[in-house]
Amino acid sequence: MRIRIEGSDLPGRRAGSTADELRLANVHVGVQRKDRPESLVPASAPSATWDLEVTSRTVAEGALDVGGPWVHGRPGARFLYLTWGAVTGDRFDMFRRAKLLFTDIPGDALLAAHAGAATLVGRLGLTGGDGGPICARVRPPTITWTAE
């Protein structure tokens, strides 16, 4: 199954002390693969896009389960992480994560992506209510999921 996460409104592009602190700390966001983030994007970038491939299979009573190195959590509670951290050389010091749960995705969009008829696309702004990086569970309408 193909998944694309499209992030806009990154917090390092805004005016003010939070954005300046993020830029000075060289903060990046990436999608977490197993125990490390990949495809890092600076917090001051105009946008961020991640294209992922996950496995999907039909389980009991027609429900879907997903897996692969990008997917975290137990069956029935699977999710993706967007991970924020400061980059220094080869080091990434994580300080915040956003959790995107598969249970928040509309069933028809998930089924279309599972069938290979579409890419599952999640769109969200990456600045939280406090002006810093978005974190915790990100639910609709903060994120919209469509099959395209």
Task: Judge residue 89's burial from the number of C-beta atoms within 10 Å of its C-beta, 0-12 exposed, 13-18 middle, 19 or more buried.
Answer: exposed
Q: Per-residue pLDDT for 58 more than 90?
A: no
Question: Quick one: 114 exposed, middle or buried, by C-beta within 10 A (0-12, 13-18, 19+)?
Answer: buried
Q: What average pLDDT does the structure give for the chain?
A: 93
pTM of the model: 0.93
3-state secondary structure of 11: helix
- pLDDT at residue 55 above 90? yes
65 contacts 57 by C-beta, under 8 angstroms: yes
Q: Provide DSSP, 85-145.
A: EEEETTEEEEEEEEEEEGGGS-HHHHHHHHTTSS-EEEEEE-B-TTSSB--EE--TTTEEE
Give me the pLDDT at residue 13, please.
Answer: 84
Residue with the bigger pLDDT between 130 and 124: it is 124
The H or E element spanning position 13 is: none
Give domain limits for the chain.
Answer: 2-147
Residue 59 burial (C-beta neighbours within 10 Å; 0-12, 13-18, 19+):
exposed
Coil vs helix vs strand at 57: strand
At residue 28, the pLDDT reads 96
Average pLDDT over residues 92-98: 95
